[in-house]
Structure 1
């Protein structure tokens, strides 16, 4: 719920079906990345708020109607939420743009697409089936999939509502209850969504949102004894830390973490399409995506021509107000990330990389106040440079030359990350061989940055564990129970097993 208080909008948390103020009475300013001015006050939750939310979710799971509801009826409510998201997509998009600076045109499209996650998992809710086993004992043996209980979701600031839904939709379809913590910088759409959760008819306590800083509210959510699952999207360092906390109580976890994804262009590729794919892969969303194609591997034969085409195409991109339909690249989402991106530009230059485009604030009035960085391209990069190994999470592209497919594979796989990779070639045998050899959870061939609610998504190596989307996504939120019914006339020797 949003309450107007003078110039700033004051938000409230949603716990147990009620709109509540933070128990500590403190708030965090949410800053519009375009104006660099605060526009809303986000509740600064603490351990007391986290405990209240977890207990509300646990009560809803154990004692409320959600757990007793037929899966088909749960699916109806989840589908209704998707319909409401679609209906309010423009309003949600406006809020998201104000919170994190993504393009309004992109957010309108993305949020309408978010509704499909709820439609897909609503349809899957009553199709979770058990198995009868071919048992070698005198017994009927079968198994069934059951919900875990209270699931905690912690999501970042780059795509708040999408990443919220990647966790919420399958968890709810599996019959769990939720406590979600959005990033402190971008909590507004998650809280606005709770108005739609109420309208859709979710029982109180099934979906809860607690806001605030990670140490103050995120950690208490993870370590709470009633929490059964952690779903986290964010940096590898934070994910590993939260995973260690969850592991102390042997809690289930799904982690979608960092990336340093290679986008590999061979000499026989359609260069026009490849340029567009590379631009979308690194400068779309201002480079603030975990799957950003931040390492461009170019075959030596096309290196110079491709860089010229890429630079010319990128120069023409309009940087500015994310609400303007003509804008193609918006601001960085917050000041801390803005400064981090500029730090990496300096690091790359100190390492000897050649700056061929960007690297600074755009020189026009519209970008004078916000957190803007020009789309930036470096050439002369080798894979040992920090700019090629560390996740920048901004519009910064590192270009690396290769000669043979094996060299491209070696460079691409020489990373602690393994979230995604792109391959551009007209040789389908080569494309399939690359897809087999690349160590990445998603490999795109002659496209980049496509996702779908139907298709599993997740990382290799330090890019995470578990999968989101598709049927694999709902399995993260289920546990298997085996049931034995004896058909024996009498119990055999009770001292012998087997």
Structure 2
């Protein structure tokens, strides 16, 4: 039952971590007042987990994992399908909670559907073979290669995609036979907490999915816990280094999906109308540029540069900015006041250092949006790719347009980055598309489309965009460890 605030609980009522199937109080944690970025007002009070609650969550997960693996594969498969059904039935509610979490426009809040798709996909893997048998030199022994769950997996999600991470990480972890301690960010815990409740509603054993919002203290306790078999972290590079160092104490393996400064290459033969629309969506408009998949460097062939910029600016400047609950709105606020200040600092430095020509935007919005954290979509033209503007991840509605002369120069500029998560190509030439895609240092290359992540495709980065994959059989295997069993028959 939703209250007048639109949430399934009262704003003044603290929402606690979900551990072992129960809401718990967090004596070792703190209380966080969750701010709705569209208004700057408190819309929920969340009790954050500390070290004691993380320890309790891991203990519950260990017990639930034993119960989970005691079920036959067909039962586990069907439970995950049941969970997908429940997610589908509550899709609108989860989308609304996504909006409440970080004010993503409802028109872009479709990650509940993505979660459902990942669950259905990985449920199909539960009863499929994961191992092999191989011959052994000089022997007739039976040599088995088996894949087994880690036991308890810690999944750490960023504020801008808790449901997406639930799909890409929690779903395959469960399908592989693990239990999960799921740590959403304190900045966006609401949809994740509801996901935990829906796991119970679908019949998963209590404690199989524990949802424990926390700040740095709780996250550190989870990563260092000796009962956790593996950590999957999604977030920024600086935090990833801290996570990896903490996990090293127990030699706990870590998968990291990190940031990006992705290039979108628009060749002269591209459909410029489509390229402009895709670039605007994938750049400053998608989640106000607050996405690791954001194409924040747009490389355009010199012969069509002026025409593209004209069309691109027309799309960007026609974006409707406002109330994220309005289906017509395509651009919402950034996450917080510190984010506003940081992004405006990036823009000011770019102007001061002549990193590029400011073509549009660059200011905070006022009027009826003044209390929220709204920024104008901002575009710099003729950007210097060696500048901080083009090299550092802004994580806001700011993009750079860069001119290139030929294919080799486009590839050189695109690869001139410490990041390598995504790359985008706009061309009608199939040969060029294949040739350039092979040359780009990126984990995913999207040709004439946006980053439409699907459970069938492995997703992850090169270089400082991380390591490991989600999606596909590779994403499943991230949550399984290999055991060799040899049976002597001689």
Q: Is the 8 A contact 1:12 1:42 kept in 2?
A: yes
Determine the structure 1 residue equivalent to 2:454: 452
Over 3 Å counting, the alpha-carbon distance change for 1:329 and 1:3 in structure 2 is: closer
Q: Is the 8 A contact 1:42 1:212 kept in 2?
A: no
How does 1:301-316 map onto structure 2 within 5 Å?
Answer: 301-316=303-318
Shift of 1:8: 2.7
Shift of 1:49: 0.9
Q: Which runs of 4+ in 1 moved over 6 A?
A: none
User: Matches of 2:67 and 2:331 in 1, distance apart?
Assistant: 46
Determine the structure 2 residue equivalent to 1:474: 476
User: Matches of 1:25 and 1:58 in 2, distance apart?
Assistant: 22
Q: TM-score, normalised by structure 2?
A: 0.96
Determine the structure 2 residue equivalent to 1:133: 134
How does 1:278-357 map onto structure 2 within 5 Å?
Answer: 278-282=279-283, 283-352=285-354, 353-357=356-360
Determine the structure 2 residue equivalent to 1:495: none
User: Matches of 1:304 and 1:364 in 2, distance apart?
Assistant: 33
Q: Is the 8 A contact 2:115 2:166 kept in 1?
A: no
Q: 1:201 aligns with which of 191, 200, 203?
A: 203
Determine the structure 1 residue equivalent to 2:121: 120
How does 1:142-153 map onto structure 2 within 5 Å?
Answer: 142-153=144-155
Determine the structure 1 residue equivalent to 2:89: 87
User: Matches of 2:343 and 2:154 in 1, distance apart?
Assistant: 30
Determine the structure 2 residue equivalent to 1:10: 14
Determine the structure 2 residue equivalent to 1:409: 411
Determine the structure 2 residue equivalent to 1:171: 173
Determine the structure 2 residue equivalent to 1:58: 62
Q: 1:360 aligns with which of 352, 358, 363?
A: 363
User: Matches of 2:220 and 2:101 in 1, distance apart?
Assistant: 23
User: Matches of 1:184 and 1:382 in 2, distance apart?
Assistant: 36
1:40 match: secondary structure? strand
Shift of 1:320: 0.7
Shift of 1:9: 4.1
CA displacement 1:107-143 (0-9 Å, x = unmatched): 1x33123201111111111113321102122311111
Question: Which deviates further from its counterpart, 199-208 or 255-264?
Answer: 199-208
Determine the structure 2 residue equivalent to 1:492: none
Q: Is the 8 A contact 2:235 2:258 kept in 1?
A: yes
The reply on whether 1:186 has 2:180 as its aligned counterpart is no
Determine the structure 1 residue equivalent to 2:226: 225
Determine the structure 1 residue equivalent to 2:23: 19
User: Matches of 1:83 and 1:435 in 2, distance apart?
Assistant: 37
Q: Is the 8 A contact 2:154 2:232 kept in 1?
A: yes
Q: Is the 8 A contact 2:29 2:50 kept in 1?
A: no
- Unaligned runs of 5+ residues in structure 2 are 2-6
User: Matches of 2:486 and 2:178 in 1, distance apart?
Assistant: 25
Shift of 1:4: 4.7
Determine the structure 1 residue equivalent to 2:4: none
Q: 1:28 aligns with which of 14, 32, 37?
A: 32
Determine the structure 2 residue equivalent to 1:464: 466
Determine the structure 1 residue equivalent to 2:426: 424
1:127 match: secondary structure? coil
Q: Is the 8 A contact 1:259 1:290 kept in 2?
A: yes
Q: Is the 8 A contact 2:28 2:51 kept in 1?
A: no
2:125 match: secondary structure? helix
Shift of 1:105: 2.5
Determine the structure 2 residue equivalent to 1:496: none
1:28 match: secondary structure? strand
Determine the structure 1 residue equivalent to 2:264: 263
1:126 match: secondary structure? coil
- Unaligned runs of 5+ residues in structure 1 are 489-498
User: Matches of 2:308 and 2:294 in 1, distance apart?
Assistant: 19
2:75 match: secondary structure? helix
Q: Is the 8 A contact 1:280 1:449 kept in 2?
A: no
The reply on whether 1:69 has 2:71 as its aligned counterpart is yes
Shift of 1:380: 2.4
User: Matches of 2:48 and 2:335 in 1, distance apart?
Assistant: 19
CA displacement 1:236-257 (0-9 Å, x = unmatched): 1111221222233222221100
User: Matches of 1:9 and 1:413 in 2, distance apart?
Assistant: 49
